[in-house]
Chain A
């Protein structure tokens, strides 16, 4: 298993543009989490899904952020329009029911100019 796969690994965009981050979970994992990592705030949970259903999106900073999980093998995090303060590393992590361990993807490093 290749583990959690995220794409792109790096994204540079201009303010106002739409950004879409992608995540493929480990097969069989029914929990999926999106995190944002910054120097100032560390790791913050943005949203998580269970069986493709969003359970808690209270960490989503504002309406510019949205996340979907159309099926068990794919999730997206979208920022529209993007702003420079959105620059961060975005991690996807997955876990399976009954297990405490979350497995993290390599992250997407986003820079909004």
Chain B
């Protein structure tokens, strides 16, 4: 069965500092991984997906199959990055996502 683990429920960094939100997964097949973000009082929305290898709002995430990780990184955090971040795994053609428990990121001024 698939599983997504986000070990940090809460993460605080200062503005301008690097930030890394950890995500590990377990899945026997070839995974598709995503990061979703939920800003305060807004709906959950896609931030980025590993398949497109893009950088969104300065965030990047690299799929490391050896370590079964998909950590989200940003070199210089901004206050507007404060939000809840969810790592998610799509485990096949069913289109259903398995979400991690989420990490609440707070960027301090």
Interface residues of A (CB under 8 A from B): 3-4, 31, 33, 35, 41-45, 48, 50, 55-56, 91, 93, 95, 97, 100-107
B residues neighboring A (CB under 8 Å): 32, 34, 36, 42-46, 49, 51, 86, 90, 94-102
Contact, CB under 8 Å: A43 / B43 = no
Residue contact B32 to A106, C-beta cutoff 8 Å: no
Q: Is the CB of B51 within 8 A of A100?
A: yes
Residue contact A100 to B44, C-beta cutoff 8 Å: no
Write the chain A residue with the least CB distance to B90.
A100
B37 vs chain A, min Cβ distance (A): 11
B95 touches A95 (CB 8 A): yes
- Given the interface pairs A101-B46, A104-B44, the reply to whether A33 lies near B102 with Cβ below 8 Å is no
Task: Select which of A42, A55, A102 is within 8 A of B100 by beta carbon.
Answer: A42
- What CA separation (Å) do A50 and B93 show in the bound complex? 12
CB distance from A61 to the nearest CB of B (A): 16
Q: How far is the CA of A48 from the CA of B97 in the complex (A)?
A: 10
Query: Which of B42, B46, B49, B96 is within 8 Å of A56, CB to CB?
Result: B96
Complex-state Cα separation, A45 to B76, whole angstroms = 33
Contact A41 B94 (CB under 8 A): no
Name which residue of chain A comes closest to B101, CB basis.
A42
Evaluate contact between A55 and B94: CB separation under 8 angstroms: yes
Inter-chain CA distance A91–B42, complex, in Å, is 12
CB pair A43–B46 under 8 Å, yes or no, is no
A100 touches B34 (CB 8 A): yes
Docked complex Cα distance between A3 and B95 (Å): 19
